């Protein structure tokens, strides 16, 4: 997997590069500000970009904007690391490119190195990854629309939003795959999601949370 890193803090940038390399992936370039990102991406055509939200020059949300802009041009997988859970940012990012190949994680998550690299791989493969902290906060929103769901269904939906597969959800909740599939079908029905492709509906179900 070929990775581009955008992170303004030198120590963190090098740490990330070391971490990703250690798991056998290649960091083709790393930049310290968002402005440099488009050129580097055009030059190296990475499989995935890891970017910080707040970067020079304005130290607001440059990294996030750059990621969204890049995804508007081509379906580039992007994993955004943020110091905070900002619903606005998360929703904007996950809406870009239909929510495929995108991730929003709290920066702390890089401490769980194996999980972090796993998330990066899933994003590169076109998956949607939303950190548990992000999901928890987003779940608090939109309670009205979600009132129709049972607690168990909410739990399942939370795990879907984390990008888990049915099998992984079944393991987590210690139930059968069939039970998970039943819950998911019920969630889709209650959220009025039409039966198109399953993967797309999963994303839509997640977006239902985000898009209050």
Partner 1 sequence: MEFLGSRWPWRALGYLASSALLCGIVVLVAVGIGSLEHVGLRVAAGLAVFGLAVPFVGLFERWRLTWVDTTASRTVTHNTSAPTPTHPASTEAHSRPDRPSRGRSALEWRVAGAGLASLLVLSWIDVIMFGLTVGGPVLLVLTPVVQPPEAIAPGPAVVVAVGSLLLVPAAVYTFTAWAGARGAMLRGLLGGRDAELDEVLRSRARLVDAFEVERRRIERDLHDGAQQRLVALSMRLGLAKLDLPDESPAKEQLALAHEEAKHALNELRELIRGVHTPVLIDRGLPAAVREAAGLSAIPVDVDVVIEQRPATAVEVAAYYAVSESLANIAKHSGAHRASIRARIHAETLTLEIEDDGKGGADPAHGTGLIGLSDRLAVVDGTIAVSSPLGGPTVVRVDIPVT
CB of 136 to partner 1, least distance (A): 11
Minimum CB separation of residue 83 from partner 1 in Å reads 6
CB-count exposure of residue 66 (10 Å: 0-12, 13-18, 19+)? buried
At residue 205, the 3 state secondary structure works out as helix
> Which one, 94 or 170, has the nearer CB to partner 1?
94
Question: What's the closest the beta carbon of residue 90 comes to partner 1, in angstroms?
Answer: 10
Nearer to partner 1, 11 or 174 (CB): 11
C-beta of 98 vs 211, nearer to partner 1: 211
Taking the complex as a whole, the smallest distance from the CB of residue 57 to partner 1 amounts, in Å, to 13
Residues that bind partner 1 (CB under 8 A): 9, 11-12, 15-16, 18-19, 22, 54, 59-61, 83-84, 86-89, 107-108, 110-114, 137-138, 140-141, 143-144, 212
Check if the beta carbon of residue 133 is closer than 8 Å to that of residue 85.
Answer: yes
Measure the CA–CA gap between 85 and 97, rounded to whole angstroms: 21
Cα–Cα distances in angstroms (integers) from residue 177 to residues 55, 166, 170, 185, in the given order: 43, 6, 5, 12
**Residue (43 or 112) nearer to partner 1, CB:** 112
Say if residues 21 and 15 touch (Cβ distance below 8 Å).
Answer: no
């Amino acid at each position: 997997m070929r990775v581009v890193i955008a992170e303004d803090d030198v120590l963190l940038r090098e740490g990330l590069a070391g971490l990703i390399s250690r798991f056998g992936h290649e960091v083709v370039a790393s930049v310290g500000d968002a402005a440099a990102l488009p050129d580097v991406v055009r030059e190296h055509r990475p499989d995935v970009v890891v970017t910080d939200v707040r970067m020079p020059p304005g130290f607001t949300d440059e990294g996030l904007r750059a990621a969204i802009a890049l995804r508007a041009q081509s379906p580039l997988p992007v994993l955004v690391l943020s110091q905070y859970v900002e619903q606005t940012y998360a929703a904007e990012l996950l809406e870009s490119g239909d929510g495929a190949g995108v991730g929003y994680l709290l920066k702390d998550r890089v401490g769980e190195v194996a999980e972090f690299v796993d998330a990066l791989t899933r994003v590169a493969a076109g998956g949607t990854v939303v950190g548990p902290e992000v999901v928890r906060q987003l779940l608090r929103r939109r309670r009205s629309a979600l009132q129709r769901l049972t607690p168990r269904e909410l739990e399942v939906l939370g795990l879907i939003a984390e990008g888990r597969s049915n099998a992984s959800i079944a393991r987590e909740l210690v139930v059968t795959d069939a039970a998970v599939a039943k819950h998911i079908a019920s969630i889709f029905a209650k959220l009025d999601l039409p039966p198109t492709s399953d993967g797309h509906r999963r994303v839509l179900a997640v977006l239902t949370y985000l898009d209050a």
